[in-house]
Amino acid sequence: MNNLPKDIKVFNHLNFPDKRGDLKCIFEIDENLEIEGFSSKVSNSKPLVARGIHWQNQKSPQIKAISILKGSITDFLINLDKNSNDFGKFFTYELNAHSNKTIYIPAHYGHGFLAKEETTFFYFCFGKYSENNEITINLKNLVKNRTSLNTNNWIISQKDEKAKCFNEIFKK
């Protein structure tokens, strides 16, 4: 795990402590981002909650930056850029509150996660959410077929449970 392609970036948090407390910079980039819409969210998940895989198609793309505030997750990412040599490649990344890291996920990746314990995370979405342009890929199916992780006790929404498999959505 944690073998990510070069276009997914992981940033170390910068911490600036002094006698009053501290300031933690969890995400900062020097790139100009041309985006339509922005949101920041806090998500709480119980142990064994799995969410995703969700992706905003290129009609309404979203870049995500995720930091764990409490707990830990296994992050799941799949490259959905049909023009990429890595199209369909599945990646996992371990992220936790103690790592002091933020993962930056480009718009051409579908994203999901498994909470390994009670978990709170903060994420930025660069780009406007559009329900009509969201695609959900069956995470359990991907994990069962591409990893050795056990999915039997996962807590998952009906929407995610009923999602189509990758090969049904992206027929060759």
Q: Which of 15-19, 29-33, 130-134 has the highest mean pLDDT?
A: 130-134
pTM (predicted TM-score):
0.85
pLDDT, position 1:
52
Q: Which CATH class is domain 9-16+37-169?
A: mainly beta
Q: Judge whether residue 30 has pLDDT over 80.
A: no
3-state SS string over 60-100? CCCEEEEEEEECEEEEEEEECCCCCCCCCCEEEEEEEHHHC
Is residue 19 within 8 A of residue 110, CB to CB? The reply is: no
Give the whole-angstrom CA distance, residue 172 versus residue 156.
28
Q: How confident is the model at residue 151 (pLDDT cuts 50, 70, 90)?
A: very high
Q: How confident is the model at residue 100 (pLDDT cuts 50, 70, 90)?
A: confident
Q: How confident is the model at residue 172 (pLDDT cuts 50, 70, 90)?
A: low
* Phi, psi dihedrals of residue 130, rounded to the nearest 5°: -135, 110
Is residue 108 within 8 A of residue 84, CB to CB? The reply is: yes
Q: Judge whether residue 28 has pLDDT over 60.
A: yes
In terms of pLDDT, which residue wins out, 124 or 6?
124
- What's the pLDDT tens digit per position in 114-145? 999 999 988 888 888 888 999 999 999 999 99
Mean pLDDT along residues 38-62? 89
